[in-house]
Amino acid sequence: MKMSTEEAIRRSVGLVETWNGKCDGRIKAWFSLRQMILCSQKLYFKFKELARKYSVGITTHVSEAHVEEYSLEKFRKRLYEIGFLGRNVVLAYGAFLTSKEVRLVAEVGASIAYCPSIGHMLMPPPKIPEMLTTGVNVALGSESI
């Protein structure tokens, strides 16, 4: 997980160009940002641009811990305020999203992937009933340690 922004862009573009749409369209390759604490702001915005160019989505971990404060420190804004979120973005976890943030995720049409296998071990459950009532698309994901 340690590489330069330029290397991450190069390798990710290569992955999307090589695999997206293969096997008669059954394989989908998206851009993936591990989490804000590990990625540069340049990488977030470049992946947003590239996702539009290649008509693919983006995944990133968000609010799996109280890292939104880090967003404020790093970007001077929260992730949803920098124009990153959209219908093609899937946010893993979302355990510490505030009610305001849940509404904002719903408004922009982003989705939450709840990963209960690891989520229940390391964090409180996200506000799934509130997310569903607010109109957030919630999916189940899996992740291993």
Q: What is the pLDDT of residue 115?
A: 78
Strand order in the sheet with 89-93: 31-35, 58-62, 89-93, 111-114, 137-140
Q: What is the pLDDT of residue 42?
A: 87
pTM of the model as a whole = 0.83
**Spatial separation of the C-alpha atoms in residues 16 and 82, rounded to whole Å:** 24
Q: What is the pLDDT of residue 110?
A: 94
Q: Give which of 82, 84, 102 is closest to 93, Cα–Cα.
A: 102
Q: What is the pLDDT of residue 98?
A: 82
Give the CA distances from residue 121 to residues 56, 61, 64, 90, 143, in Å, rounded to whole numbers and listed in that order: 31, 16, 12, 21, 12
**Spatial separation of the C-alpha atoms in residues 89 and 54, rounded to whole Å:** 14
Q: Give which of 48, 68, 72 is closest to 59, Cα–Cα.
A: 48
Q: What is the pLDDT of residue 52?
A: 95
Sign of CA dihedral 22, 25, 27, 31: positive
Q: Which CATH class is domain 5-140?
A: alpha beta
Q: What is the pLDDT of residue 55?
A: 97
140 three-class SS: strand
Q: What is the pLDDT of residue 97?
A: 82
Q: What is the pLDDT of residue 122?
A: 63
The mean pLDDT values, 10 residues at a time, for the chain of 145 residues are 88 97 96 80 91 95 64 69 86 83 92 76 75 94 65
- Whether 13 and 50 have beta carbons less than 8 Å apart is answered as yes
